[in-house]
Structure 1
């Protein structure tokens, strides 16, 4: 069976639309702060390794909990250069990668996870306001759309279970005019959109103003527990800390025990030039919702503050050996596929051109959402595995890390989600064989009315999976 996205699109149209697209994240085309390299050795109370969302929220909230603490953050490259500066800017309340994933894995505590996730989203908005962060924050809600007949039933079931309001075909097309839409599920309160790079840069500013020392181009090489604390060797000197938060996400963990728990999956994105008033009027989208479609291979898209459409997803590409390498980011066949799918979704925008194309690696684990742990006799906390939904969840994850280091039970640290780790991915070549078989199976399910084959059903029973 064919899906709507198998329709033929004029190759010349795709080529014209991509011809002037600059390679690199649109979000990072703004002035960014610069921080010094670590000048030598130093001592601190808390060292945070990683200058993305999880690391910066950890540092900021650590200073708010204990203003007198000496908090240092080190980043191997530049603050926000990786996933935090390249994502779609969806801030979702879900900390479980969606309701279906949360209900299947933690059915007895799912309601609590939903409540904590919504509180985290509200808290994030409050933090942004209290620190005066200029991040283009819009509490827009999320619209999930069905583009195939079998997906309509999925959305109706989601509405029945309280995940949002079901929209029939006429209603959803009145919201956003796409001939591919068959139905929608509208959740007005559980998602915001944000300028992701502004968010990370403003978080860094808030950290610095609170007294956090930030050092860029300071790669951590090794970590070693000593009698009185933790010793981290960097390329610029040694940092001795009482406690550490490791927030390196997709990059190989300093703790060898964690290196099989995540894999890097490459995600690809396009951004259009700003839409004119006439172009925007042709598709409606007056409520500016975040949008995602319902396939196993799905697209996510939203409007920027200057009315560009940021359009990503579908391809989720794993490369043998778990490598994170810039060479994987330039993938012409994927950008062409994404462009074709854009014009299938919005044929009325055939005169629109793309201004940017980019990619980045997502830290994926077998349960599709973050996992935590302690090491170094309780002095090292770590978090990994956001699987593409870390913009909001990273703030919750940071608070969990700090709770774990404090050593006093909280509602967060008592969660089964926090205390149970996902199954690791196998080593190569088994990892690559399994992941590619799973990707093929997900594509087959999308082409077979969503029906899952034996491979997917077996993975479901084992609690394993692969997703973007």
Structure 2
């Protein structure tokens, strides 16, 4: 596909997330009122914040809980992702084994229980969000990736996953793309969901349970106020809480220390127009599982409920200074144009299909690809941020971790190394930007040279550090 062709198929794309661009999207809730107070205030109304309120109600059904968001429920990554809900809490089995080998058997089981609980609790609350436990296929699109899939298959079987290695003929018979050389089909450990409907449904359910959700409310800073925490808002207003959980992901946090752990990486996504019956048949893909390719720079893709293809990933962009602002989302069309060209390389039978939506948004990545947990203000504030692209599933686990930390409870969750040890801090600017760009170029070069990682990447691997979305 030429650049001109890519621009043509993107010409009519709405610059907004497909999930939230719908006529039945909820209106904006009222902002917080100066002087309001609660037993627990959660800052951030994405999945981590919503699950925190959800799980807190289980512990204290009569607690007064307030959720604050600078924008709206699901505005950030929770409404912009691909809708993959993974059981993994460690950014994959191999990464978990490298960093927390002693904890992995228990963490894997924790992740499985967490995914099942998400399914059951959404169903129990009557939240219709197209939740489907269809699994995922990881695809080798370069010869060097085939052996890596074989190793991943052995690891999956060792942890009891229902996994099968697919050779070229089998994987291409399943989903029709000439680029596929092999596949690792894993059943049961990944679900697909409509993330906006999930977030909106959770918010509505929480409100029926007495939770107050305030939108358009930016928390500027936190301070002690006697036995409570004062949350200072814009224009001199404030609310008070006995305890606070920070769940701001890649967006600016009132707890300044969190910026040293977070790299805001802008991920890019496209969604096609609805496919015709013939186009849909040309893909195969009858099991409708999630798909991802096996490179370091990777794509993730899936079918939507109304027969579109969501196609995202590969180009993770860090803006100098870690700037997160709406004007960064469509700063340059090159990432979306590249995605459009790569889409046709993967599915040449869909050449000419136009894209209805194109968007981007920041992912809260850490140096070890998993969240940072901790407390502040003498244990009255807890935080859980940095899910690096897997927060749709891990958010519920993180909510319980944050509540355990507020309670001062020594639970099995708080004893995991993934909770006890924070990620290695990201170097501050002006070093951060050139280091991230050099790392990104090294990863692209590794993918172009049969996966061979240079000295810098091998050094990062040794310490479990890296760059990923």
**What TM-score, normalized to structure 1?**
0.96
Are 2:47 and 1:48 aligned?
A: no
Once residues 125 and 265 of structure 1 are traced to their aligned partners in structure 2, the CA distance between those partners, rounded to angstroms, is 29
Cα deviation per residue 1:144-183 (whole Å; 9 max; x = unaligned)? Answer: 0000001000001111122521111111111100000000
Are 2:217 and 1:225 aligned?
A: no
Q: SS of 1:161's equivalent? A: helix
Aligned residue number for residue 323 of structure 2:
323
Aligned residue number for residue 187 of structure 1:
186
CA-CA distance at 1:413 after TM superposition:
1.1
Once residues 201 and 124 of structure 2 are traced to their aligned partners in structure 1, the CA distance between those partners, rounded to angstroms, is 12
CA-CA distance at 1:378 after TM superposition:
1.2
Q: Does the CA-based 8 Å contact 1:60-1:206 persist in structure 2?
A: no
Once residues 55 and 203 of structure 1 are traced to their aligned partners in structure 2, the CA distance between those partners, rounded to angstroms, is 11
Once residues 261 and 409 of structure 2 are traced to their aligned partners in structure 1, the CA distance between those partners, rounded to angstroms, is 26
Are 2:392 and 1:402 aligned?
A: no
Q: How does 1:161-240 map to 2 (within 5 A)?
A: 161-162=155-156, 164-235=163-234, 237-240=237-240
Cα deviation per residue 1:346-390 (whole Å; 9 max; x = unaligned)? Answer: 001113111010000000110001121011111111011111111
Once residues 387 and 257 of structure 2 are traced to their aligned partners in structure 1, the CA distance between those partners, rounded to angstroms, is 18
Once residues 339 and 65 of structure 1 are traced to their aligned partners in structure 2, the CA distance between those partners, rounded to angstroms, is 47
Once residues 298 and 434 of structure 2 are traced to their aligned partners in structure 1, the CA distance between those partners, rounded to angstroms, is 22
Q: Does the CA-based 8 Å contact 1:57-1:395 persist in structure 2?
A: yes
Once residues 246 and 336 of structure 1 are traced to their aligned partners in structure 2, the CA distance between those partners, rounded to angstroms, is 35
Once residues 222 and 231 of structure 1 are traced to their aligned partners in structure 2, the CA distance between those partners, rounded to angstroms, is 8
CA-CA distance at 1:277 after TM superposition:
1.3
Aligned residue number for residue 160 of structure 1:
154
Task: Using the TM superposition, name which of 30-39 and 90-99 deviates more.
Answer: 30-39
CA-CA distance at 1:37 after TM superposition:
1.2
Are 2:366 and 1:365 aligned?
A: yes
CA-CA distance at 1:111 after TM superposition:
1.4
Are 2:81 and 1:81 aligned?
A: no
Q: SS of 1:243's equivalent? A: strand
Q: SS of 2:250's equivalent? A: coil
Once residues 137 and 383 of structure 2 are traced to their aligned partners in structure 1, the CA distance between those partners, rounded to angstroms, is 33
CA-CA distance at 1:463 after TM superposition:
3.0
Aligned residue number for residue 25 of structure 2:
32
Once residues 396 and 307 of structure 2 are traced to their aligned partners in structure 1, the CA distance between those partners, rounded to angstroms, is 27
Aligned residue number for residue 314 of structure 2:
314
Aligned residue number for residue 145 of structure 1:
139
Q: How many residues get paired?
A: 460
Aligned residue number for residue 288 of structure 2:
288
Aligned residue number for residue 4 of structure 1:
none
Once residues 379 and 329 of structure 1 are traced to their aligned partners in structure 2, the CA distance between those partners, rounded to angstroms, is 34
Q: Does the CA-based 8 Å contact 1:85-1:196 persist in structure 2?
A: yes
- Of residues 93, 116, 123, the one that matches 1:99 is 93
CA-CA distance at 1:125 after TM superposition:
0.2
Q: Does the CA-based 8 Å contact 2:261-2:366 persist in structure 1?
A: yes
CA-CA distance at 1:42 after TM superposition:
1.4
- Of residues 59, 64, 89, the one that matches 1:65 is 59
CA-CA distance at 1:307 after TM superposition:
1.0
Structure 1: 5+ residue runs without aligned partners?
A: 1-8
Cα deviation per residue 1:2-25 (whole Å; 9 max; x = unaligned)? Answer: xxxxxxx23343233112111111
Q: SS of 2:423's equivalent? A: coil
Q: Does the CA-based 8 Å contact 1:403-1:413 persist in structure 2?
A: yes
CA-CA distance at 1:446 after TM superposition:
0.3
Once residues 108 and 84 of structure 2 are traced to their aligned partners in structure 1, the CA distance between those partners, rounded to angstroms, is 17
Once residues 233 and 159 of structure 1 are traced to their aligned partners in structure 2, the CA distance between those partners, rounded to angstroms, is 50
Query: RMSD of aligned C-alpha atoms?
Result: 1.1
Aligned residue number for residue 256 of structure 1:
256
Cα deviation per residue 1:25-46 (whole Å; 9 max; x = unaligned)? Answer: 1101122223211122112110
Cα deviation per residue 1:285-317 (whole Å; 9 max; x = unaligned)? Answer: 100000000111100000000011000001000
Once residues 24 and 346 of structure 1 are traced to their aligned partners in structure 2, the CA distance between those partners, rounded to angstroms, is 24
Q: Does the CA-based 8 Å contact 1:63-1:211 persist in structure 2?
A: no
Structure 2: 5+ residue runs without aligned partners?
A: 158-162
Aligned residue number for residue 6 of structure 2:
14
Aligned residue number for residue 160 of structure 2:
none
Q: Does the CA-based 8 Å contact 2:272-2:309 persist in structure 1?
A: yes
Q: How does 1:263-278 map to 2 (within 5 A)?
A: 263-278=263-278
Cα deviation per residue 1:230-280 (whole Å; 9 max; x = unaligned)? Answer: 111112632111110000111232222222111110000000011111101
Aligned residue number for residue 380 of structure 2:
379
Aligned residue number for residue 356 of structure 1:
357
CA-CA distance at 1:96 after TM superposition:
0.9
Once residues 39 and 252 of structure 1 are traced to their aligned partners in structure 2, the CA distance between those partners, rounded to angstroms, is 21
